[in-house]
Structure 1
Amino acid sequence: MNKIMMIVMLIVVVAISAGCNHVVASQGGISMTTEEALSLWQAKKAVIIDVRTPQEYQEGHIPDAVLIPLNQLETRLDEIPKDQQVLLICRSGRRSAQGTNLLRSKGFEQVVNIEGGMLAWRGPVVK
């Protein structure tokens, strides 16, 4: 009995730790950490869309990030690739979470919110 319980606990621990570095559901949306986003972006495995205002974008943005303010997202769907991983970022992660939910409701399955937004971003920034 003791051996069976230890095996079950080991399986649970492995299952939990295996999921730590993957995209997770959060507040009704899908998100990942800035570290995971940075890694994907540096490997050129994802496109980053910045949903902040033009003024916020000018104050500092991720190199090559595409600016599509949240209030324009729905009217600019044709600019968003459906065949690539798309990461949305804003200042703190709230607007990009809204954008992620919007795009997923429109059939964009590979869209992910970057948790913490630019406040948490530790990668390169262009000013």
Structure 2
Amino acid sequence: MDLQQDQWWENYQKDENAVLLDVRSEEEVEEIAIPQAINIDFYKGQEFLNELEQLDKNKNYYVYCRSGNRSGQTCMLMKQLGFENTFNLIGGMNEWEGPTK
């Protein structure tokens, strides 16, 4: 599900079963990231899929990237892998106004 920044962040903060997932490259993460996020690089191909498969499918994933494109694709992939609740941040880090590290 695609969510605007305000709704995405508000839902994440209220969700006791939430996981923040950053699917950008390590270089992008080093520049700026949202605190508490786990990073799995979208561009790692099969390794990316393997790492997704190891995640707990019962959690709710709040996924972001630079613009919302990779995270949107990730949410679709996760649905195919059996994840029930994935939430894509529309606009990604390009439009992010929340906390960063």
Unaligned 5+ segments in structure 1 are: 1-29
Q: Using a 3 Å threshold, how does the CA distance of structure 1 residues 44 and 109 change in structure 2: closer, same or farther?
A: closer
Answering whether residue 95 of structure 2 is matched by residue 124 of structure 1, we say: no
Correspondent of 2:36 among 56, 61, 64: 64
> For 1:59 and 1:44, how far apart are their aligned partners in 2?
27
> For 2:27 and 2:97, how far apart are their aligned partners in 1?
20
How many residues align? The count is: 97
Correspondent of 2:60 among 85, 88, 92: 85
State the TM-score, normalized to the length of structure 2: 0.86
> For 1:79 and 1:36, how far apart are their aligned partners in 2?
27
For the residue of structure 2 that corresponds to 1:42, the secondary structure is helix
Q: Which has the larger radius of gyration?
A: 1
Alpha-carbon offset, residue 41 of structure 1: 2.5
Correspondent of 1:112 among 80, 83, 87: 87
For the residue of structure 2 that corresponds to 1:80, the secondary structure is coil
Alpha-carbon offset, residue 73 of structure 1: 2.7
Whose relative contact order is higher, 1 or 2, with alpha carbons under 8 Å and at least 6 apart?
2
For the residue of structure 2 that corresponds to 1:87, the secondary structure is strand
Q: Using a 3 Å threshold, how does the CA distance of structure 1 residues 40 and 79 change in structure 2: closer, same or farther?
A: farther
For 1:51, the equivalent position in structure 2 comes to 23
For the residue of structure 2 that corresponds to 1:92, the secondary structure is coil
Q: Using a 3 Å threshold, how does the CA distance of structure 1 residues 79 and 35 change in structure 2: closer, same or farther?
A: farther
Query: Which runs of at least 4 in structure 1 moved beyond 3 Å after TM superposition?
Result: none
> For 2:27 and 2:87, how far apart are their aligned partners in 1?
23
